[in-house]
Amino acid sequence: MLIIRQALRPFARFVDFSGRASRAEFWGFTLLVVVLGLIAVGIELRFALPRLDLALGPLTLPLAVATFVPGLAVQTRRLHDVGLSGWWALITWGPYIASLLYYSGQSSAGLSMMFDPGGMSVMLLLNALQALGAFALISLLFQRGWRGRNAYGDDPCRPVTPLTA
């Protein structure tokens, strides 16, 4: 029952980017979102529901919208728990945004630039940077948080109460 409470906690603190989040809170929320996403995709595929924007369907799009801000908030708090700024979450967004800017500056010839050696090498480089950033971020999110108080607040696993202070 505790894992369910931890998984749902980011919805209650969905705009709270301050403080700290334990590994149980972050990974419980992540597991919940993945399971709900798999269920939504399964229903969409089973009933051949049409795709909407960004290749998301009528169930997955609202799920993505509903979990985006709580996900960013809990990720920021999780990074705070290991003593880092929430801006470290952008480690995966930088190459993604660069690739969008790069491709938006290309001609309207469609995907032909993908077969150009220069365009392919840029695409591979940006994808590799994004993968490296994702690996680094995931390894940070798996780390044990600081014991006791840090610059971002009290330890979420051992909160300070008047009896223990």
Number of domains making up the chain: 1
Residue 153 domain flag: no
Looking at residue 93, the DSSP 8-state letter turns out to be H
**Lowest-confidence pick of 37-41, 109-113, 136-140:** 109-113
What pTM did the predictor assign?
0.80
Question: Model confidence at 6, in pLDDT bands (50, 70, 90)?
Answer: confident
Residue 151 domain flag: no
Residue 155 domain flag: no
The DSSP-derived string for 103-158 is HHTS-SSGGGGGGSHHHHHHHHHHHHHHHHHHHHHHHHHHSPPPSS-BTTBS-SSS
Residue 67 domain flag: yes
% the chain with pLDDT above 90: 58
Q: How far apart are CA 10 and CA 59, in angstroms?
A: 20
Residue 31 domain flag: yes
Kindly report, residue by residue over 71-126, the tens digit of the pLDDT. 999 999 999 999 999 999 988 888 778 777 776 665 444 455 555 666 678 778 88
Contact 130, 92 (CB under 8 A): yes
Write out the residue range of the structural domain in which residue 58 sits: 2-142
Residue 160 domain flag: no
Residue 17 domain flag: yes
